[in-house]
Structure formats: C-alpha cells, structure tokens
Structure 1
Amino acid sequence: METATVAQRKVPRPRADALRNRERIVAAGREMFVEFGAEVPLDEIARRAGIGNATLYRNFPDRAALQREVVCSVMDRVSEQVEQMLAETGDAFEALSRFVHASADERIGALCPMLSEAFDENHPDLVASRERVEELIETLMGRARTAGQLRPDVAVGDLMIAISQLTRPLPGTACPNMDRFVHRHLQLFLDGLRAPARSELPGAAATMEDLRRA
C-alpha cells in the first residue's frame, strides 16, 4: 500500500501556468476557427493566445488534436448548461429555448465545418463528449414533450440540424454581423417546435444516428 502511495506521489501534477496556457490556446483556437475557418494557421492561434509556437505544439502536436479539444470543450460547456437547466424546475419549453440560444452563443454552427472527413469522429474523447451532450438534450426535449409543449414528431437530430444551419455564418461574412439575425431566426424556429403542431412534417424525424450516417 505504501509503495502505491509513493508511486502516486511521483506523478507530476500539471503546473498552474501550464494549465492556463492550455486553456488560452483552446480559447484562442475556438475564436479563430470561428472567425477564419478550420485552416487558420496555428502560428496565428499561438499569437492570439499570447504564447510561443513551441508551447502550442507541446500541448497540441497537430491541428487535429487542437480541433478535437476545441470541439470537446464547446460540447462540454453546452452539457454543463443543460445539466443546470435540468436541475431547475419551471417551464420545460423555456428551458429548451434557453439551451437553443445558448448553443448559438457557443458558435456551434461555425465549428461544424471542422467535422470533415479528415476528422476522427471516433476518438474516445470526442465520443464521450458527444454522447453526454446528446443524452442530456434528449432528456431536455423529453421533459418538454411530456409536458405537452413540444410537438411529438421532432427528434434530437432535427434540433441539432436547425441549430447548426441557423447559426452557421454565411461564406464571406464576419460572425459579429450575424448576431443580430441569429437569435431572431432561432426564435422563429422555436415557435415552430411548440405543440400543438400546426402542420404535418414531411419525412421522418432526424436522429443523431441519421446525421452520423450522412
């Protein structure tokens, strides 16, 4: 038992400044991927983060590693927000609406182009973050559905497609210029989700499996 304790003590803990540098790199990466796309030079990300190139590559050996961390960090933040909403009592559809608008603020649509064919969607970290957020969103939607507030013919995939499309910047436009339209259009979409439904939707509800197969 003593031997195990000594061995554990020999494992170095990340220094506080190293953790801060990693967080700054991820934050800068998220900002620049949103503003300039997935191929923004890593040197520019290091410059915005206020660190040297060597520090960036010490934390993230290649572009894919940084992209994966950025995507996971966004999904984890969204999951934390949904968990907070689920812990609250009150109007179920209002909680769903807050999630949709919060997702727009996280720039989910702008990050979607990074999920290209070259992106390892089966990496364990990405799978864990994705499964967590999908399960929480399904629970949030289920609560609104049980309350009779959400139309029954929509699924998580429908919601995520709409959020992605409505929050994705148009080619050649800067994200800040879209802010005044995004939340307005999301609210129009949310009004269409309310029960009772005023129309019959063509086709079947989109699941997350449908999106992955596509």
Structure 2
Amino acid sequence: MTVTAAKPAGPRLRADASRNRERIIVAAREAFVEFGADVPLDEIARRAGVGNATLYRNFPDRRELILHVTLSVLTNVVGHAEAAMAEEADTFQAVRRFALAAARERIGALCPLLSDHIDRCDPELAASRLRLTQVVTELVARAQRAGRLRPDVAVGDFVVVLTQLTRPLPGSGCLAMDGFVQRHLQIFLDGLEAPARSILDGRAVTLEDLKRHN
C-alpha cells in the first residue's frame, strides 16, 4: 500500500491566520461604527468568529486595532478612486462612483470616530493619507479638465461635503442612515456636475484650508 505524505501545514496556517486577521478588521470596523471606539474587544472577537486569544495575538491592544482598521479603510478608499479613474471613460462618472463607494466604506463615520485614538504621526498612516489626498485630487482635477465638474469648487469642498454627508446625525444610528446617505450624495453630486446652475458664495475650499483648521 502506498502511503501519501501529508502536505506541510505551514502555508495553510498562514492563510488561516491572514483570514482571521481580515475578519477581525472587518468586524471591528462595523462594531466601531455601530457602538463607538470603546466597544468591548470581546464583542469584536465574537463578531469575527474568533477567540479572544486570536484577536490579541493579532492586535495586542485597542490602539493597534484601531490603527489597522483606519489603514484598511484608507486603503479601500484609495482602491475605489484608482478603480474609478481606470475603468470609467466619463470623468464625472468616476467622481460619482468614487463618492458612493467611499460612503459605503462609512468613511465619514469612522474617520472622526477613530482619529482621537491613533497616532497621526504614524508613518504608515501618514503615507496612506498622502496617497488618498493624491488620488482624490487627481480624480477631481480630471473631471474639471474635461469640463465635467464645475470649476468653482476645489478638492477641499468635495472632501468636506463627502465627509459630512456620510457622518450620522447626533442621536441617530449610523446603520439606519445608509439609505439617506446614498440619496443625499446623489443630490450633492448633481450639484457638482458642470455646467453649474448657480454661482457659489465665497471661495473654493482647498486641502490646505482643511489642514489649517485641524
């Protein structure tokens, strides 16, 4: 009788560990949105379908978990922007697609919620934020160069409104807001499209303006 040698378990274990880590990040993101940054880590482990030991093996403390949730969201949002620019022939459709995708990531709810719990000087975080700034700036600039997005707005305007519209109102559940967010984003995007139907008061808000107020 021929005996088949068992395959090494190493790669499987590494794949399982990677999947566990991803499940924890996804569960944490949803729990943070629903309950806030102080949600018990036991609840996150339960939602991820892993034991507490697995959670702590991957993320030794809450700050480490929050950092990696933030990095995950930023990476996803950058990916949405890059995909929209690469795949949409209409530059304004790329802006629309990106805005709706960023809303589904709940970026407006997560960023202010988590910003007080992480080191903003973390090099990996700084690199992710810089990359997001670059791709969103290019996304808006392409639509303006093509005459598809009104010229009297700047990237800061776009970022502020996108963040505000995807942030839940005080006293309301974030998960219950999803339907309203998509509807209100559509109204906002219709207002961005060129030719403009009105003249805006004041001046366009730049990213430098936003940095001065942070």
The one-letter amino acid paired with 1:72 is L
Give, in angstroms, the shift of residue 205 of structure 1. 2.3
TM-score of the superposed pair, with normalisation by structure 2:
0.87
Question: Which residue number in structure 2 is paired with residue 70 of structure 1?
Answer: 69
Question: Which residue number in structure 1 is paired with residue 94 of structure 2?
Answer: 95
C-alpha distance in structure 1 between counterparts of 2:160 and 2:114, whole Å: 14
Q: How many residues align?
A: 203
TM-score of the superposed pair, with normalisation by structure 1:
0.87
Question: Which residue number in structure 1 is paired with residue 180 of structure 2?
Answer: 181
The reply to whether residue 80 of structure 1 matches residue 79 of structure 2 is yes
Question: Which residue number in structure 2 is paired with residue 3 of structure 1?
Answer: none
Question: Which residue number in structure 2 is paired with residue 20 of structure 1?
Answer: 19
Tell me how large the CA RMSD over aligned residues is. Answer: 1.9
Instruction: Report if aligned partners of 2:156, 2:207 keep a CA contact under 8 Å in 1.
Output: yes
The one-letter amino acid paired with 1:179 is D
Question: Which residue number in structure 1 is paired with residue 58 of structure 2?
Answer: 59
C-alpha distance in structure 2 between counterparts of 1:213 and 1:115, whole Å: 20
Distance 1:143 1:106, change over 3 A: same
SS at match of 1:160: helix
Question: Which residue number in structure 2 is paired with residue 35 of structure 1?
Answer: 34
SS at match of 1:151: coil
Runs of 4+ in 1 over 6 A off after TM superposition: none
**Which piece of structure 1 moves more, 170-179 or 51-60?**
170-179
The reply to whether residue 44 of structure 1 matches residue 36 of structure 2 is no
Question: Which residue number in structure 1 is paired with residue 169 of structure 2?
Answer: 170
Gaps of 5+ in 1: 1-11
C-alpha distance in structure 2 between counterparts of 1:60 and 1:203, whole Å: 46
The reply to whether residue 136 of structure 1 matches residue 135 of structure 2 is yes
C-alpha distance in structure 2 between counterparts of 1:208 and 1:22, whole Å: 33
SS at match of 2:198: coil
Instruction: Report if aligned partners of 1:115, 1:121 keep a CA contact under 8 Å in 2.
Output: no
C-alpha distance in structure 2 between counterparts of 1:30 and 1:117, whole Å: 15
**Which piece of structure 1 moves more, 38-47 or 168-177?**
168-177
C-alpha distance in structure 2 between counterparts of 1:201 and 1:115, whole Å: 32
C-alpha distance in structure 2 between counterparts of 1:46 and 1:72, whole Å: 19
**Which piece of structure 1 moves more, 100-109 or 172-181?**
172-181
The one-letter amino acid paired with 1:64 is R
Provide, for residues 138-160 of structure 1, a one-character-per-residue CA deviation record: whole Å limited to 9, x for no partner: 11111110111111222222111
C-alpha distance in structure 2 between counterparts of 1:208 and 1:57, whole Å: 37
Give, in angstroms, the shift of residue 106 of structure 1. 0.8
The one-letter amino acid paired with 2:40 is P
The one-letter amino acid paired with 1:110 is A
Instruction: Report if aligned partners of 2:148, 2:194 keep a CA contact under 8 Å in 1.
Output: yes
C-alpha distance in structure 1 between counterparts of 2:114 and 2:199, whole Å: 32
Provide, for residues 118-166 of structure 1, a one-character-per-residue CA deviation record: whole Å limited to 9, x for no partner: 4311211111111112111111111110111111222222111111111
SS at match of 1:15: helix
The one-letter amino acid paired with 1:42 is L
